[in-house]
């Protein structure tokens, strides 16, 4: 086959041209080629906006974290519930995710790639038009969506892919289903702990059981707000997070002593927006979550007395603390507090009250055990034991230390009868990119060819086809 | 001319394998990629950069800088879509033609056409006769106008640079450059090609290059290796943070166990490379009459140095910053007298005996140095001297009669000493005109990126190792003191020595706290090797 000729439309589907899998989330957007084991491109879903030389400029990708700009503000096109709010900007962010590392800004013109000896006279005259090529005109695209994505948003997505990006084939899959595929299961109960949401999705034979889909806002950002609440009431002194960009140098201090750092100040008209500071504080908090925060392993709740009669809190106090150093040099060993930050994911009463928090105190129905209960209540009784035997944990925030142990205990207590088995990949990237990996597997399957919605079908039936084909 | 090639391999505690073993680890890669074993001397290595493309045929016995350095630029040829490696001038000249004899005319340009051994210059001359149809004239001699095409290796007028900030911006030109390099090195038929890829190249870019190499060069095997990974192989370390300081950009990559961490990688950070430093010098010295070329040479000179943060500048820093010293300003105006060092035929330098040429240059250097030594400050280290001078060198094209005499373009090399005040230490200070950044200088930008990149490594236990081994490569980092200053910035912004309470009295839990770097920078390497071959005519 001559590689400079485009493949025929009928041949599309992953074998010869690898499809692009795009997995947009609230915190990060993952993109990569189908068949690979990790997304090549991982960018934050938020973008920066600032004014320079009288023009509005946008910053995409990791650059946002590295160079602060005057008056830089941070926006996220995706709402707290994981549904796109700003379609124009979502398109830009997603486009950046695959053009930056995968496809390049535009597909090369075969006449200009130096491989074809074409004399200038023979060049087709419509060349100028073709140079405005759309970014995905030679890659099929598989996108993911949350299980509660409304029909309107789904139609908007295929419209964007087909008309703005010119993809030859498209498919929209539920992220829960894909996470189950990534664990090699066609039926599973997927518990996804994301940045803005936690969700429970029952899946049977690769189909989502819509009535059982549950989600609540107790995701990574909620945990961050709990950590902030802990910092406020911290002893010996409340902790404020000063991100690195506000610090010019720091020096070593003893644990618990006030920080001695030289701070940077920006003139008021140049200082980045509060949203920028919040973004970078969030980064420090995720470092804190990675290194310090721990889920009380159970089997009983943190507030409950342990079998030996000593309260669990006292038990937690006896475990050695974990040190953490803040960007300004302040450092401290965190003891029992590191368990409290996440306890409210399982026990609504354990939430640390904070009047300034954007999150209202969680209701019992929002906790993980209750979500699982509600989800199972929405599916057929016969399916429940099978689903409980195939619980799949995915999502970046599920990497909290001790999370799966606790989840296992909670589920066993709630459902003492059937066999409960929790599957959680140990590999960090498999956990963080679960739905992307499932998409990568799906799109590279030979049998998936017939599932693609081709451009022709889209043109015939309109965007509504996504409702019929991607169930 | 470049500094001496020195490879610091004797750091204490650094797990640098011997040259030989590193070398063999590099070689052992090839059989993985291809079935037939290739001979070392047949391997073709090409490392394209925005400014210079390094190439070498055959793996040498020990680590040496690349033998060939091609400027990464091509010139559009007369025919659209084709490229020439050098600027080609068209020159029309009246030539007397003798019709009676069939003996070939003495070609004035013959001496230029000598094949250049040292740097692979292929100076080919095309002599095109015009007015052929008027030859039936009975006269034995007549004057016709002839068009000469001559190559001008010194000129970059009209050049197309196919790579900008690592990105390939002009594909036909980039492919033409690869072809030119391939032709120049003319490898034997069974030559596997290894290309060192820029991190910014997208998957599609890599596909296009692979396709081109196989289809055009018919290479039996091809490998595209990421430049950061190649740097790690070069130093024989499986885990390192690689900072590649290029012309217009910086790449920061965390490599763990010989695998590049794509996520969180700092790719082509703009405004952080060598050009940014030159820009800053232009900003500081431009008002004093410095051209960009002067600033570029100043940056490369040995009096320019980046001092660690908070080092006092020599002299009173207040007056130094103002730089309004009229005497200093006057001395920079170049009143030292332009020394004419004789007419140099550039082509002769390229094609002639390079050792002789270099010896000549050395001689000139020593003679000028004698004159330039300042008796007072002679013993002080450069960083303590308020003023110092460097030798500025430029080629000026000869105009007028002399030039016309034998047709070829000729250049005169002029050198003069220029005195610079403390501005030479300020090249990484933040530019006042750039409104888009709030950071203080490129070092801080790079340091922030290093922090971001290391934090993005998913395996948290690897992070302290990444803080510990930092590899700084790229010509932009050649400025004296660059690495030390970068390290100082990283340390004061991000790294603290662990405070006693945490690491001695507390027994860490079963899960170690990996984020905290232990600042033992024993594994600090700087690579001057990428830029050490003599630069004849840059």
Residue A438 and residue A308: Cα distance in Å, rounded?
44
Residue B419 and residue B334: Cα distance in Å, rounded?
9
For residues B69 and B182, membership in a common domain is answered with yes
The predicted pLDDT at position B493 comes to 86
For residues B144 and B164, membership in a common domain is answered with no
Chain B: nearest CA to A7, how far in angstroms?
16
Chain A: nearest CA to B465, how far in angstroms?
16
Which token pair is B313? 């500048």
For residues B213 and B95, membership in a common domain is answered with no
DSSP state for residue B491 in the 8-state scheme:
H
Closest CA to A438 of A32, A44, A155, A64: A32
Domain ranges of chain A: 9-176+432-469, 184-217+363-424, 219-361
- Split at pLDDT 50, 70, 90, the class of A33 is very high
Beta bridge partners of A262: A249
CB-CB neighbors (< 8 A) of B455 in chain A = 283, 287
Chain A: nearest CA to B435, how far in angstroms?
7
Q: What is the CATH number of domain A219-361?
A: 3.90.640.10
**Which of these three, B203, B227, B251, is where a domain ends?**
B227
Domains in chain B: how many in total?
Answer: 2
CB-CB neighbors (< 8 A) of B497 in chain A = 252
Share of chain A above pLDDT 90, in %: 55
Chain A: nearest CA to B175, how far in angstroms?
7
The predicted pLDDT at position A27 comes to 93
Q: What is the CATH number of domain A184-217+363-424?
A: 3.30.420.40
Chain A: residue nearest B494 by CA? Answer: A327
In this structure, is residue B168 part of a structural domain? yes
The predicted pLDDT at position B95 comes to 67
> Would the pLDDT of A159 be above 90?
yes
Q: Distance between alpha carbon B533 and the CA centroid of its chain, in Å?
A: 10
In this structure, is residue B318 part of a structural domain? no
Sheet architecture: strand order including A28-33: A41-44, A28-33, A20-24, A141-145, A169-174, A453-454
**Could you read off the pLDDT of B417-462 as tens digits, one per residue?**
888 888 888 877 777 665 567 777 888 889 999 999 998 888 878 8
CB-CB neighbors (< 8 A) of A251 in chain B = 496
CB contact set of A22 (below 8 Å; sequence gap of 6+): A29, A30, A31, A94, A97, A98, A141, A142, A143, A144
- Residue corresponding to tokens 């010194």: B154
Q: Do B502 and A270 touch (CB under 8 A)?
A: no
> Would the pLDDT of A91 be above 50?
yes
| Residue B453 falls in which region: left (phi positive, over 0), alpha (psi -120 to 50) or beta | alpha
Domain range spanning residue B219?
20-75+160-227
State the count of interchain CB pairs (< 8 A) between A and B.
155
Q: Do A62 and B264 touch (CB under 8 A)?
A: yes
CB contact set of A384 (below 8 Å; sequence gap of 6+): A376, A418
- What is the pLDDT averaged over residues A330-338? 89
Q: Do B215 and A115 touch (CB under 8 A)?
A: yes
Residue A27 and residue A221: Cα distance in Å, rounded?
9
In this structure, is residue B425 part of a structural domain? no
Chain A: nearest CA to B69, how far in angstroms?
23
Chain B: nearest CA to A177, how far in angstroms?
25
Which token pair is B259? 């695998």
Share of chain B above pLDDT 70, in %: 59
> Would the pLDDT of A116 be above 50?
no
Chain A: residue nearest B447 by CA? Answer: A66
Residue of B205, B437, B499 with shortest CB distance to A331: B499
For residues B62 and B177, membership in a common domain is answered with yes
For residues B42 and B137, membership in a common domain is answered with no
Q: Mutation test of the interface with chain B: which of A49, A101, A114, choosing the one with the most B Cβ atoms within 10 A?
A: A114
In this structure, is residue B14 part of a structural domain? no
Other CB atoms within 10 Å distance of the CB of residue A79: 12
Residue B24 and residue B61: Cα distance in Å, rounded?
10
Greatest Cα-to-Cα distance within chain A, rounded to the nearest angstrom: 91
The predicted pLDDT at position B107 comes to 44
The predicted pLDDT at position A132 comes to 53
**Which of these three, B99, B129, B152, is where a domain ends?**
B152
Show which of residues 27-66 on chain A sit within 8 Å of chain B, judged by CB atoms: 33, 38, 40-42, 50, 52-53, 57, 62-63, 65-66
- Are the CB atoms for B38 and B221 separated by under 8 Å? yes
Chain A: nearest CA to B212, how far in angstroms?
7
Distance between the two ends of chain A, CA-based, in angstroms? 36
* Residue B71: CATH number of its domain: 3.30.420.40
Angle CA A140–A144–A147, to nearest 5: 145
pTM: 0.78
- Residue corresponding to tokens 């599920």: A398
The predicted pLDDT at position B99 comes to 54
CB-CB neighbors (< 8 A) of B435 in chain A = 52-53, 70
Closest CA to B308 of B127, B443, B169, B453: B443
User: Mean of the per-residue pLDDT values for chain A?
Assistant: 86
**Which of these three, B96, B121, B152, is where a domain ends?**
B152
In this structure, is residue B325 part of a structural domain? no
The predicted pLDDT at position A454 comes to 92
Chain B: residue nearest A254 by CA? Answer: B499
Query: Three-state SS for A144?
Result: strand
In this structure, is residue B264 part of a structural domain? no
The predicted pLDDT at position A251 comes to 83
Q: Do B212 and A70 touch (CB under 8 A)?
A: no
**Could you read off the pLDDT of A176-234 as tens digits, one per residue?**
999 999 999 999 999 999 999 999 999 999 999 999 999 999 999 999 999 999 999 98
Tens digits of pLDDT across chain B (538 residues): 333 333 333 333 333 333 333 333 444 444 454 456 788 888 999 999 888 899 999 887 767 788 889 999 898 887 877 888 888 777 777 666 555 544 444 444 434 333 333 343 333 444 444 444 444 444 455 677 777 777 777 677 788 899 988 899 999 999 999 999 999 998 888 889 999 999 999 988 999 999 999 999 988 899 999 999 999 988 889 999 999 998 888 999 999 999 999 998 988 888 888 888 888 888 888 888 888 888 888 888 888 888 877 777 776 544 334 333 333 333 333 333 333 333 333 443 444 444 454 455 455 544 444 444 444 545 677 777 778 888 888 777 666 555 455 555 667 777 888 888 888 888 777 776 655 677 778 888 899 999 999 988 888 788 888 988 899 998 888 888 888 899 888 888 887 544 333 333 333 333 333 333 333 333 333 333 333 333 332 3
**Could you read off the pLDDT of B175-184 as tens digits, one per residue?**
999 999 999 9
Distance between the two ends of chain B, CA-based, in angstroms? 9
Chain A: nearest CA to B502, how far in angstroms?
7
Closest CA to A397 of A234, A241, A282: A282
Chain B: residue nearest A136 by CA? Answer: B204
Q: Do B458 and A429 touch (CB under 8 A)?
A: yes
CB-CB neighbors (< 8 A) of B175 in chain A = 113-115
Q: Do domains A184-217+363-424 and A219-361 have the same CATH topology?
A: no
CB contact set of A91 (below 8 Å; sequence gap of 6+): A160, A164
Q: Mutation test of the interface with chain A: which of B82, B207, B458, choosing the one with the most A Cβ atoms within 10 A?
A: B458
- Split at pLDDT 50, 70, 90, the class of A2 is low
CATH number assigned to the domain with residue range A9-176+432-469, chosen from the 4 options 3.40.50.12780, 3.40.1710.10, 3.40.50.300, 3.30.420.40: 3.30.420.40
Which token pair is B256? 């763990």
Chain A: residue nearest B172 by CA? Answer: A114
> Would the pLDDT of A123 be above 80?
no
CB-CB neighbors (< 8 A) of B440 in chain A = 248, 264
Q: At B513, phi and psi to the nearest 5?
A: -95, 100
Closest CA to A224 of A347, A313, A369, A345: A345
- Are the CB atoms for B237 and B17 separated by under 8 Å? no
């Amino acid at each position: 086959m001559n590689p400079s000729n485009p493949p025929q439309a009928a041949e599309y589907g992953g074998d010869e041209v690898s499809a692009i899998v795009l997995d947009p989330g609230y915190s990060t957007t993952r993109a990569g080629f189908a068949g690979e084991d990790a997304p090549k491109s991982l960018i934050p879903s938020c973008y920066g906006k600032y004014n320079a030389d009288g023009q509005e400029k946008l910053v995409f990708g990791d650059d946002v974290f590295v160079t602060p700009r005057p008056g830089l503000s941070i926006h996220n096109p995706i709402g707290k519930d994981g549904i796109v709010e700003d379609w124009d900007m979502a398109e830009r962010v997603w486009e950046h995710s695959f053009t930056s590392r995968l496809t390049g800004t535009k597909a090369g013109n075969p006449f200009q790639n130096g491989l074809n000896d074409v004399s200038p006279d023979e060049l087709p005259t419509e060349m100028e038009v073709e140079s405005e090529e759309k970014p995905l005109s030679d890659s099929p695209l598989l996108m993911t969506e949350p299980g509660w994505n409304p029909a309107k948003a789904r139609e908007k997505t295929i419209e964007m892919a087909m008309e703005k990006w010119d993809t030859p084939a498209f498919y929209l899959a539920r992220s829960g289903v894909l996470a189950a595929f990534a664990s090699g299961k066609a039926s599973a109960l997927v518990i996804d702990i994301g940045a803005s949401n936690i969700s429970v999705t029952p899946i049977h034979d690769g189909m989502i059981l819509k009535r059982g889909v549950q989600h609540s806002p107790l995701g990574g950002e909620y945990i961050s707000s709990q950590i902030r609440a802990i910092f406020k009431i911290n002893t010996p002194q409340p902790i404020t997070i000063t991100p690195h960009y506000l610090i010019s140098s720091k020096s070593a201090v003893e644990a618990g002593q006030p920080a001695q750092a030289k701070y940077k100040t920006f003139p008021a008209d140049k200082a980045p927006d509060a949203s920028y500071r919040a973004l970078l504080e969030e980064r420090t908090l995720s470092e804190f979550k990675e290194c310090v925060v721990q889920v009380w392993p159970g089997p009983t709740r943190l507030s409950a007395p342990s079998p030996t009669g000593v309260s669990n809190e006292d038990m937690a106090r006896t475990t050695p603390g974990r040190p953490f150093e803040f960007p300004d040099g302040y450092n401290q060993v965190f003891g029992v507090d590191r368990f409290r930050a996440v306890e409210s994911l399982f026990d609504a009463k354990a939430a640390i009250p904070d009047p300034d928090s954007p999150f209202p105190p969680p209701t019992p129905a929002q906790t993980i055990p209750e979500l699982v209960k509600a989800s199972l209540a929405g599916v057929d009784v016969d399916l429940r034991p099978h689903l409980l035997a195939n619980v799949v944990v995915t999502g970046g925030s599920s990497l909290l230390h001790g999370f799966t142990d606790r989840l296992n205990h909670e589920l066993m207590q709630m459902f003492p009868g059937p066999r409960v088995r929790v599957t959680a990949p140990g590999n960090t990237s498999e956990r963080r990119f679960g739905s992307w990996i499932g998409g990568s597997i799906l799109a590279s399957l030979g049998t998936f060819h017939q599932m693609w919605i081709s451009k022709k079908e889209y043109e015939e039936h309109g965007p509504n086809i996504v409702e019929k084909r991607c169930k | 001319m470049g500094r001496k090639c020195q490879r610091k391999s004797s750091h204490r505690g650094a797990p640098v394998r011997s040259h030989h073993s590193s070398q063999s680890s590099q070689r052992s890669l090839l059989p993985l990629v291809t079935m037939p074993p290739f001979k070392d001397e047949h391997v073709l290595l090409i490392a394209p950069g925005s400014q210079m493309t390094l190439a070498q045929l055959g793996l040498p016995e020990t680590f040496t800088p690349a033998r060939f350095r091609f400027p990464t630029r091509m010139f559009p040829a007369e025919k659209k879509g084709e490229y020439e490696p050098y600027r080609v001038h068209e020159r029309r000249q009246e030539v007397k033609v003798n019709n009676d004899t069939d003996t070939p005319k003495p070609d004035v340009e013959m001496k230029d056409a000598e094949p250049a051994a040292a740097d692979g210059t292929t100076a080919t001359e095309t002599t095109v006769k015009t007015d052929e149809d008027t030859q039936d004239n009975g006269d034995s001699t007549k004057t016709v106008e002839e068009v000469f095409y001559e190559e001008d290796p010194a000129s970059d007028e009209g050049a197309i640079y196919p790579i900008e900030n690592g990105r390939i911006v002009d594909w036909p030109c980039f492919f033409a450059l690869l072809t030119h390099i391939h032709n120049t090195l003319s490898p034997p038929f069974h030559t596997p090609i290894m290309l060192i890829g820029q991190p910014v190249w997208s998957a599609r870019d890599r596909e296009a290059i692979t396709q081109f190499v196989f289809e055009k060069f018919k290479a039996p095997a091809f490998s595209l290796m990421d430049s950061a990974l190649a740097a790690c192989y070069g130093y024989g370390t499986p885990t390192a943070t690689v900072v590649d300081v290029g012309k217009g950009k910086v790449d920061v990559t965390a490599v763990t166990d010989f695998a590049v961490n794509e996520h969180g990688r700092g790719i082509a950070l703009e405004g952080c490379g060598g050009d940014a430093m030159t820009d800053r010098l232009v900003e500081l010295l431009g008002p004093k009459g410095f051209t960009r070329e002067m600033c570029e040479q100043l940056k490369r000179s040995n009096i320019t140095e980046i001092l660690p943060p908070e080092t006092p500048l020599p002299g009173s820093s207040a007056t130094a910053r103002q730089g309004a010293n009229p005497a200093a300003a006057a001395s920079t105006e170049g009143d030292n007298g332009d020394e004419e060092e004789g007419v140099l035929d550039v082509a002769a330098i390229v094609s002639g005996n390079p050792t002789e040429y270099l010896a000549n240059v050395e001689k000139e250097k020593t003679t000028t140095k004698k004159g330039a030594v300042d008796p007072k400050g002679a013993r002080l280290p450069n960083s303590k001297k308020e003023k110092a001078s460097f030798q500025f060198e430029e080629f000026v094209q000869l105009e007028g009669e002399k030039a016309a005499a034998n047709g070829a373009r000729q250049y005169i090399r002029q050198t003069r000493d220029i005195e610079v005040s403390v501005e030479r230490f300020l090249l990484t200070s933040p530019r006042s005109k750039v409104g888009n950044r709030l950071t203080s200088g490129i070092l801080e930008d790079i340091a922030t990126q290093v922090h971001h990149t290391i934090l993005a490594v998913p395996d948290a236990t690897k992070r302290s190792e990444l803080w510990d081994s930092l590899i700084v490569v790229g010509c932009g980092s050649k400025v004296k003191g660059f690495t030390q200053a970068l390290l100082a910035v990283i340390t004061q912004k991000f790294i603290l020595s662990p405070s006693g309470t945490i690491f001695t009295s507390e027994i860490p839990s079963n899960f170690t706290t990996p984020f905290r770097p232990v600042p033992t920078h024993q594994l600090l390497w700087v690579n001057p090797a990428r830029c050490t071959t003599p630069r004849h005519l840059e």
